[in-house]
Chain A
């Protein structure tokens, strides 16, 4: 018989503390779909995705019923579409629209992989593909896009950084009717990972097998609750408690991932150990940091608290899963975390502090609304700064900012659902355009030469 307190703890985690499986994401290779024409390829892409993932929604429902744990999102990631579109880059949009149709047909909320990997250089076909992103994001609903512009091994492709500043701006313009919502589906990465189950940055890497199941767990509320029970503990004890909690959360993810893979005829890929917040009260990473003793996230001490949290989550999670991957750490998306939203509205949380925090947690400047008149070169410079943090620290960093057309500091924007709402945050007005216009490639750091 189980220890009754263990059983009740699990029930409490699910019923009151928002423990859930955040996403089951099926990675699908589209390489076999490349055909003689864009039209034929688009048809094959649609058929492949619809066929391979046809049971994902049903299986998730079954698993949720059997194990009594909510499975919030069902998603698909595919091979970076720039590779599929390489023979006919000017018709990339056809593939994008086919993927979006497949997502709707399957009843999944997002499909990721309208992506390009240009961290060392941009081929002509990739340049044309990237130029299609704003239009495609404005014409599709569930498709997500990402571009990898740098890595620790190759340095930073500053020509791509310059292009992406313009692409982000154009995407915002083309989706201005929904406050630049297109930008919420566009991530610019450094050191992008091939097995990320979370959106908007998921894609299915070419080093992966044909069909893979990756699972992302979540549980900021569970961690916060565990810390509420030890209000006076020192940080050694706090880290220990977080580790134990992360272990339990991850084990639930591992169980679901293995079972989902078996039932869907796919390989089990990884469990992503991320603490992913939602805008719901009681599901906030910011509130964990505040539980640790900060009056408001964004104040001094936030970076240290986040570093400890991120590390303890990994240590607890690593032992709980046979394969850990994805982004694995704490997410700090501003609009998707009620504590972050409040801190930004109070003016305590600013871009510079967020940038520092991204050096010690899993991703980057995420879901941040900035003034609509921010120049493309400033967005490129923000991307370059983040990429530099990722490159030097051998970690993934990302930028997902929304320059909201027609809005400025003092306004706010509502994206709805998981994407939440955000006050427009100020950015530095000093001009970075000459630096960005230089282009070229920032060389890889000395410590990348490990061979």
Chain B
């Protein structure tokens, strides 16, 4: 099962390192990463495989939100189906 992780907020050092370490610890594999910086605004989108994760999507999403709060960014993990539904016919 795949999910999309989005990380947004003010750019700072070590964001990718922290998020990747967090995902790896939970058995989540990163399949693709895209990153943009607009002015000082950082936006990273990751497509991840959560089949090997030890928790369900909702629990992982809640943990991502917590991590986001601790590093001062907004981090969301969502089932990929929501993006497929809204942006693909």
Indicate if the CB atoms of B61 and A248 lie closer than 8 Å: no
Indicate if the CB atoms of A67 and B86 lie closer than 8 Å: no
A255 and B87 alpha carbons, distance in the complex (Å):
12
Q: How far is the CB of A66 from chain B (nearest CB, A)?
A: 4
Residues of A within 8 A of B79 (CB): 66-68
Indicate if the CB atoms of A68 and B76 lie closer than 8 Å: yes
Residues of B within 8 A of A66 (CB): 56-58, 61, 78-79
Residues of B within 8 A of A69 (CB): 78, 82
Choose, from A6-14, A128-136, A331-339, the stretch at the interface.
A6-14
* B19 contacts A by Cβ under 8 Å: no
Q: A1-B32, A65-B62, A66-B61 are in contact. Are A252 and B86 (CB under 8 A)?
A: yes
> B interface, how many residues as a size bin?
20 to 34
Q: How many A-B Cβ pairs are below 8 Å?
A: 71
Per-residue contact bits, chain A 231-257, to B (CB 8 Å; 1 contact, 0 not): 000000000000000001001101100
A44 and B66 alpha carbons, distance in the complex (Å):
44
A6 and B83 alpha carbons, distance in the complex (Å):
8
Among A11, A68, A252, max chain B CB count under 10 A is at A68
Of residues 139 through 188 on chain A, the ones whose CB sits less than 8 Å from some CB of chain B are none
Residues of B within 8 A of A9 (CB): 87
Indicate if the CB atoms of A252 and B82 lie closer than 8 Å: yes
Indicate if the CB atoms of A4 and B61 lie closer than 8 Å: no
Q: How far is the CB of A99 from chain B (nearest CB, A)?
A: 30
Per-residue contact bits, chain B 24-64, to A (CB 8 Å; 1 contact, 0 not): 00000000101010000001010100000000111101100
Q: How far is the CB of A70 from chain B (nearest CB, A)?
A: 12
> A interface, how many residues as a size bin?
20 to 34
Indicate if the CB atoms of A6 and B82 lie closer than 8 Å: no
Indicate if the CB atoms of A7 and B4 lie closer than 8 Å: yes
Residues of B within 8 A of A64 (CB): 58
Name the residue on B nearest A251 (C-beta): B85
Residues of A within 8 A of B86 (CB): 6, 10, 248, 251-252
A69 and B77 alpha carbons, distance in the complex (Å):
11
Indicate if the CB atoms of A10 and B87 lie closer than 8 Å: yes
16 contacts between A and B (CB under 8 A): A1-B32, A1-B34, A2-B83, A4-B36, A4-B43, A7-B6, A7-B83, A10-B82, A10-B83, A62-B58, A65-B59, A66-B57, A66-B79, A68-B78, A69-B82, A255-B81
Where the two chains meet, the residues of A that have a C-beta atom closer than 8 Å to any C-beta of B are 1-4, 6-11, 15, 61-62, 64-69, 248, 251-252, 254-255
Where the two chains meet, the residues of B that have a C-beta atom closer than 8 Å to any C-beta of A are 4, 6, 8, 32, 34, 36, 43, 45, 47, 56-59, 61-62, 74, 76-83, 85-87
